[in-house]
């Protein structure tokens, strides 16, 4: 993808986010729109997008790449967990919860899928869905544990294994491995719904940002340090490791973009529920989301996509 196409993609994403901000500020959507859209995105749209991405011819190279990106994704996630043991010790406990969670869990769940699909197409979306297995697993374990005690192991595994996006990966793998043809009406429906991933996810981010009324004093040293870790340092480590092991460029590119996503919107939600610093969490989300509009094109140019 050339520089012009990358900038076109970023311009589109920016305008979609601004639509969400506008809709929130003008009260076009009800107050509960964020939760409704989030549930619809996670339970309907993303699963359709994932299943559609697996509707391709099975190749042994693809299965090998699944294993590679799966291991690369888990590796960077556990590296981030390791960093959390000493990276934010000088911060108040309320902020430590936010920073540790946001370092491990990013907004890749829906923003990452949208960006990767825009850059790499459906092949990239397929690899991204495998990559995100690690983050979705850690969301219910290590991620949630930063704010509260983890659930019982039985409940934990149930949440992980029955997550709609993971179930769609199972379905997609079955379709690909056994080359199961879908009826045309079903295939078109899945593809059409999945194609709404980008607009819905970006508008949802805009709705979240539209709730912020005060933008002063956002660029603090701590917020900028976290944002640098999230958008630059962690994806750089992925690039170096992937290059060292000789991974395919598309695998490195997908995982770099997935890793370089901003703080997850759930950071502020959990901070409010479990006595974290909500204002600080909001700053991390806003600043990292805004600067990701700059860092993503830079990574695309660096990767020579």
Q: Name the residue ranges covered by the structural domains of the chain.
A: 3-302
pLDDT reported for residue 264: 83
pLDDT digits (tens, 9 = 90+) for 67-99: 999 999 999 999 999 999 889 989 998 899 899
Confidence class of residue 216 from pLDDT cuts 50, 70 and 90? low
Cα–Cα distance list, 126 to 61, 62, 133, 155, 255 (Å): 13, 10, 12, 28, 12
- pTM for the full predicted model: 0.80
**Residue-wise pLDDT tens digits, 159-200:** 767 878 888 888 988 998 888 999 999 999 999 998 898 888
Query: Exposed, middle or buried by CB within 10 Å (0-12, 13-18, 19+), for 184?
Result: exposed
Determine the Cα–Cα distance for residues 28 and 42; give it in Å rounded to an integer: 22
Q: Where are the alpha helices (DSSP H) in 184-277?
A: 184-194, 197-210, 221-228, 234-244, 249-259, 266-273
Name the one residue in this structure whose structure tokens are 């919107």.
Answer: 265
List Cβ neighbours of 206 (8 Å cut-off, separation of 6 or more). 16, 17, 18, 19, 20, 21, 22, 23, 24
pLDDT band at 31 (very low <50, low <70, confident <90, very high): confident
> Which pair of tokens denotes residue 197?
């991933």
Residues pairing with 263 in the sheet: 106
Residue 2 scores a pLDDT above 60: no
Residues facing residue 106 across a β-bridge: 263
pLDDT per position as a tens digit, 95-119: 998 999 999 989 887 678 888 888 8
Q: What is the CATH code of the structural domain delimited by 3-302? A: 1.20.1530.20
């Amino acid at each position: 993808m050339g520089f012009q196409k990358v900038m076109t993609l970023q311009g589109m994403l920016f305008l979609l986010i601004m639509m969400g901000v506008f809709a929130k500020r003008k009260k076009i959507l009800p107050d509960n729109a964020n939760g409704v859209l989030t549930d619809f995105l996670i339970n309907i749209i993303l699963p359709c997008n994932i299943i559609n991405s697996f509707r391709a011819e099975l190749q042994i190279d693809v299965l090998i790449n699944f294993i590679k990106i799966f291991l690369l994704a888990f590796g960077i996630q556990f590296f981030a967990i390791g960093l959390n043991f000493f990276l934010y010790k000088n911060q108040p406990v309320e902020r430590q919860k936010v920073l540790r969670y946001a370092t491990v869990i990013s907004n890749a769940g829906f923003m990452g899928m949208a960006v990767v699909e825009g850059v790499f197409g459906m092949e990239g979306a397929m690899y991204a869905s495998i990559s995100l297995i690690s983050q979705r697993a850690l969301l219910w374990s290590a991620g949630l544990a930063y704010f509260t005690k983890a659930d019982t192991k039985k409940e934990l595994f149930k949440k992980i294994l029955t997550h709609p996006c993971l179930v769609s990966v199972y379905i997609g793998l079955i379709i690909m491995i056994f080359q199961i043809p879908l009826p045309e009406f079903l295939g078109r429906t899945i593809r059409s719904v999945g194609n709404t991933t980008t607009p819905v996810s970006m508008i949802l981010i805009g709705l979240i940002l539209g709730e912020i009324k005060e933008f002063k004093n956002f660029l603090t040293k701590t917020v900028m340090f976290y944002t640098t870790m999230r958008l630059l340092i962690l994806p750089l480590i992925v690039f170096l490791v992937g290059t060292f092991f000789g991974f395919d460029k598309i695998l490195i590119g997908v995982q770099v973009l997935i890793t370089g996503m901003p703080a997850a919107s759930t950071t502020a939600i959990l901070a409010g529920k479990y006595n974290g610093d909500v204002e600080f969490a909001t700053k991390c989300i806003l600043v990292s989301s805004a600067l990701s509009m700059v860092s993503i094109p830079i990574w695309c140019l660096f990767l020579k996509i």
